[in-house]
């Protein structure tokens, strides 16, 4: 194996005459970074700087025999120039293309509980595993942070590919194939704690996740850092057993206490499906999340106030903690408030309404035409009005009492009857019938 030196390092598209320094760093759950310093002619430096743009990338390779050919591919994050009389020193720093996923925070919900974590990540990245089993919400998180949190739910880290031209993420340990045997290589090692693993310095370059054989120990690369010493690139790796790659679950504190508005898409018993319009431009009809709907009061014995919103109503979705699965809907928003803010209105989707005003209580079957209503006021008493029949029934006694007058008026007919007698009053006269009639 040939060591990597300044003589066999190539930066594609950058006309270095000599590479002075190179540093590369990469770890799980992090973007890879590189910093390279080199000399070039002054005119070549000017030309390179003039054709740079915000999407400029660098590819660092080596021609060293027995080494991985691509050391790093990434987007430039900073450029520094020091100009001397005869040459210029150019310093380039870059991050792996995965950094493109870590720029813009996103807000979005994923309401298909049968979707796998991989499918959710693909959706998040616009692009196997266990089903999520709950609603997931990307709340003010970059796609990178969201994918890292999803992976942590599986107790797995994410790996960014250090040689990828486009953002590429692997959940859990990537398969690197060939085992790198460092037992006979020139290395320096330091035995750390069991949690940290073993730190090894070698002249052999490798990628994150590579399997290492080292004096009978088979472990994998958890982190690496490269520096040049005396013109030779040395790689320091941290290796650990697979079980040491277990990632503790990450929570998004920003979702705790969050509230979003949404539109009710379906109602079932005491649950609703909601299109969260504040963060989702469209609703996934395949979503199967049913959110509990919080009413003003309810009890375990069935007592309380049951009043579910209708399809199309606007509700609020609350997230009481960091677990999106604990979200619930509440507080339907009134889009047609009454004339007075002091009025209390309870209205159904078909116009049925109970209205509590300063004057009294108004009950109607259709608030738009008020053809059938009961009006109870302190000033006028009770008014019952209907353009259809009114029936008053009692299995036992029915009493009508008044301290003053009782008035019964009809345009056509008034009929008062019992099982064996009656009085029938019409515009033509009064007819009575009974086994015995007494007139005084």
Q: Mean of the pLDDT values across residues 96-101?
A: 96
Percentage of residues of the chain with pLDDT beyond 90? 59
Give pLDDT, residue 267: 94
Cα 159 to Cα 26, 57, 205, 206, distances in angstroms: 9, 20, 17, 14
SS3 of 103, please?
A: coil
Q: What is the pLDDT of residues 18-30, one digit of tens each?
A: 999 999 999 999 9
Q: What is the pLDDT of residues 309-328, one digit of tens each?
A: 889 999 999 999 999 999 99
pLDDT tier at 90, thresholds 50, 70, 90: very high
Q: Is 256 exposed, middle or buried (0-12, 13-18, 19+ CB in 10 A)?
A: middle
How far apart CA 218 and CA 298 sit, in angstroms, is 59
pLDDT tier at 308, thresholds 50, 70, 90: confident
Q: Mean of the pLDDT values across residues 422-427?
A: 92
For 137, phi and psi rounded to 5 degrees? -130, 125
Cα separation of the two ends of the chain:
133
Give pLDDT, residue 79: 92
Residue-range domain boundaries for the chain:
1-101+158-239, 105-141+255-297+307-331
Residue 286: closest CA among 105, 108, 110: 110
SS3 of 107, please?
A: strand
SS3 of 152, please?
A: helix
Give pLDDT, residue 129: 59
Give pLDDT, residue 128: 47
Q: What is the pLDDT of residues 231-281, one digit of tens each?
A: 999 999 999 998 889 999 999 999 999 999 999 999 998 999 999 999 999
The two domains 1-101+158-239 and 105-141+255-297+307-331 share their CATH topology (first three levels equal) = no
Residue 193 pLDDT > 50: no
Give pLDDT, residue 185: 64
Residue 302 pLDDT > 80: no
pLDDT tier at 195, thresholds 50, 70, 90: very low
Average pLDDT of the residues of the chain: 89
Q: Based on C-alpha coordinates, what's the Rg of the chain?
A: 39
Q: What is the pLDDT of residues 328-377, one digit of tens each?
A: 999 876 766 667 888 888 887 788 889 999 999 999 998 888 889 999 99
Residue 255 DSSP code: G
Q: What dotted CATH number matches 105-141+255-297+307-331?
A: 2.40.50
Q: What is the DSSP string of 323-349?
A: -GGG-EEE-PPPSS--SSTT-EEEE-T
Percentage of residues of the chain with pLDDT beyond 70? 93
Residues 6+ apart with CB under 8 A from 73: 57, 58, 59, 60, 96, 97, 162, 163, 164, 165
Q: What dotted CATH number matches 1-101+158-239?
A: 2.30.110
Q: What is the pLDDT of residues 200-233, one digit of tens each?
A: 999 999 999 999 988 788 899 999 999 999 999 9
């Amino acid at each position: 194996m040939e060591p990597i030196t300044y003589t066999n390092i190539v930066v594609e598209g950058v006309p270095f005459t000599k590479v002075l320094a190179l540093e590369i760093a990469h770890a799980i759950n992090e973007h890879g970074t590189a910093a390279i310093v080199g000399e070039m002619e002054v005119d070549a430096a000017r030309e390179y700087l003039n054709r740079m743009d915000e999407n400029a990338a660098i590819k660092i390779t080596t021609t060293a025999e027995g080494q991985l050919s691509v050391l790093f591919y990434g987007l430039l994050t900073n450029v520094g120039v020091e100009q001397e009389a005869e040459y210029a020193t150019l310093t380039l720093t870059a991050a792996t293309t995965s950094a493109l996923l870590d720029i813009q925070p996103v807000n979005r919900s994923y309401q298909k509980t049968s979707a796998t974590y991989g499918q959710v990540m693909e959706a998040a990245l616009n692009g196997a595993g266990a089903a999520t089993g709950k609603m997931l919400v990307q709340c003010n998180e970059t796609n990178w942070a969201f994918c890292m949190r999803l992976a942590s739910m599986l107790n797995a880290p994410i790996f960014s590919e250090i040689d990828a031209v486009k953002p590429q993420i692997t959940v859990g340990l990537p398969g690197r194939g060939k085992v790198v045997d460092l037992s006979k290589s020139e290395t320096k090692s330091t035995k750390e704690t069991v949690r940290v693993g073993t730190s090894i310095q070698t002249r052999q370059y490798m990628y994150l996740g590579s399997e290492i054989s080292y004096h009978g120990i088979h472990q994998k690369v958890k982190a690496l850092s490269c520096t040049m010493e005396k013109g030779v690139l040395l790689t320091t790796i941290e290796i650990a057993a697979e079980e040491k790659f277990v990632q503790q679950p990450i929570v998004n504190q920003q979702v705790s206490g969050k509230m979003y508005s949404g539109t009710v898409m379906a109602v079932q018993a005491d649950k609703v499906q909601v299109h969260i319009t504040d963060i989702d431009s469209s609703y996934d009809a395949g979503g199967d999340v049913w959110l509990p709907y919080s009413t003003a009061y309810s009890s375990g014995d069935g007592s309380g106030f049951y009043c579910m919103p209708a399809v199309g109503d606007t509700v609020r979705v609350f997230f009481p903690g960091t677990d999106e699965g604990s979200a619930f809907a509440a507080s339907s928003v009134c889009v047609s408030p009454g004339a007075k803010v002091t009025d209390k209105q309870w209205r159904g989707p078909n116009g049925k309404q109970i209205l509590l005003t300063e004057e009294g209580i108004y009950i109607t079957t259709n608030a738009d035409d008020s053809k059938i209503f009961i009006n109870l006021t302190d000033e006028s008493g009770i008014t019952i009005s209907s353009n259809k029949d009114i029936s008053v029934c009692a299995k036992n006694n029915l009493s009508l009492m008044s301290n003053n007058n009782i008035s019964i008026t009809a345009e056509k007919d008034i009929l008062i009857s019992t099982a064996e007698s009656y009085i029938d009053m019409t515009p033509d006269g009064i007819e009575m019938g009974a086994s015995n009639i007494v007139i005084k």
